[in-house]
Amino acid sequence: MKVFEYERPSSPEAAARDAMPAGASFIAGGTNLIDLTKLQVMTPDRLVDISRLDLADIQDTADGGLSIGALVPNSDLAADPRVTARYEVLSRALLAGASGQLRNKATTGGNLLQRTRCYYFYDPASGCNKRAPGSGCDAMGGYNRILAVLGTSDKCIATHPSDMAVAMRALNATVVTLKPDGDRRRISIDDFYRLPGDTPQIETVLEPGELITAVELPPVPDGARQLYRKVRDRASYAFALVSVAGVVTMAEGRIATAALAFGGLGPMPWRDPAMEEALIGHEPSTALFDAAADVLLADARGHGSNDFKIPLARRALIASLRELTGTQDQ
């Protein structure tokens, strides 16, 4: 681990200023950052400890939604009665991830910002344009089983490993931040992550020193069914190969609203408005769900070891939609 300066600022404003210089990194739960610094995949020379700042509240918002402090641990968020009652998909997604020990330490903000688990990103001896821009991508033509089939570029095929973020995308979350100059901004989760393009090392729209302070969720439509479906190699303590977060309402036997986000498929939690459009106003049927999968997967491309994700995503989507529309026995 490269040696670092350690600061513990006493306010979010001070933290944002402390984290502005290149080479500075916030540390909250540390469960991803310390893993990566031990391997010298990340080499911050300054750690800005935000773990004791007053950003760990969960509060109702005026519009009937929820404001989740950036430092709320994943465990507490999953177990909060407001979340289990109103945002079941978020609780299910959180509980499907990691282990009890990790969930107790990992935070909301950190979970959004966690890095890919691509084996080549993790291996400093490998070519990885995300870890070392310009060094190539050894995952292409390598063992890319856990990597992306959508949203990739010729520089990077990494997936985002979070479960929580997938649920938050299906819930139309807003990321609330504080910049070093004191400005605050609200970023839709739809705009928060960046496609790899030619710069896979830039994963979000956050600016240097910009601190996530909270994530806000709007209220869920009345009568919505919510589901998180995670397909993985083990029954517990494994990342998703493919996951689906769904929030669906029905009206008069037809799909009225459909929010569906996917994990394991892309460099960020994946959502396809055209796919959702194809569902809305129609009666549920396998033919409809198949057609939606056609839209979702039209541009999907396997890279040798992850081709299975494409038919797997289709089946996971169809199974999820059956459950979300109450038609699983048909």
Partner 1 sequence: MHFTINGQAYEADPDIRTTILDLCREHLGLTGSKKGCDHGQCGACTVLINGRRVNSCLTLAVMHQDDQITTIEGLGTPDRLHPLQASFVHHDGYQCGYCTPGQICSAVGMLDEVAKGWPSHVSADLSGSVFTDGEIAERMSGNICRCAAYPNIVAAIRDVADQANVADRKEAA
193: β partners: 204
Per DSSP bridges, beta strands 211-217 and 225-231 are: unpaired
What are 45's two structure tokens?
């020379």
- The three-point CA angle 82-84-90 to 5° equals 105
Cα 87 off chain centre by: 16
In the chain, the amino acid numbered 264 is G
* Whether 217 contacts 173, CB under 8 Å: yes
Site track 223-242 with partner 1 (rule: CB under 8 A), x = hit: ------------xxx-----
**Pairwise CA distance, residues 323 & 165, whole Å:** 21
Site track 243-262 with partner 1 (rule: CB under 8 A), x = hit: --------------------
Sorted by sequence, the CB contacts under 8 Å of residue 325 that are 6+ apart come out as 225, 248, 250, 255, 284
Q: Which residue lies nearer to partner 1 by CB, 94 or 149? A: 94
| Interactions with partner 1, residue window 83-102 (CB under 8 A) | 84-85, 88, 91-92, 95-96, 98-102
The least CB distance from residue 33 to partner 1, in Å, is: 9
**Pairwise CA distance, residues 272 & 313, whole Å:** 13
The least CB distance from residue 249 to partner 1, in Å, is: 20
The least CB distance from residue 46 to partner 1, in Å, is: 11
Q: Which residue lies nearer to partner 1 by CB, 237 or 308? A: 237
* Whether 90 contacts 83, CB under 8 Å: yes
The least CB distance from residue 47 to partner 1, in Å, is: 8
| Interactions with partner 1, residue window 15-44 (CB under 8 A) | 27, 30-31, 34-35, 37-38
Task: Rule CB under 8 A: choose which of 25, 43, 67, 104 binds partner 1.
Answer: 104
Where along the sequence are the contacts to partner 1 (CB under 8 A)? 1, 3-4, 6, 27, 30-31, 34-35, 37-38, 47, 49, 51-52, 75, 78-79, 81, 84-85, 88, 91-92, 95-96, 98-102, 104-105, 235-237
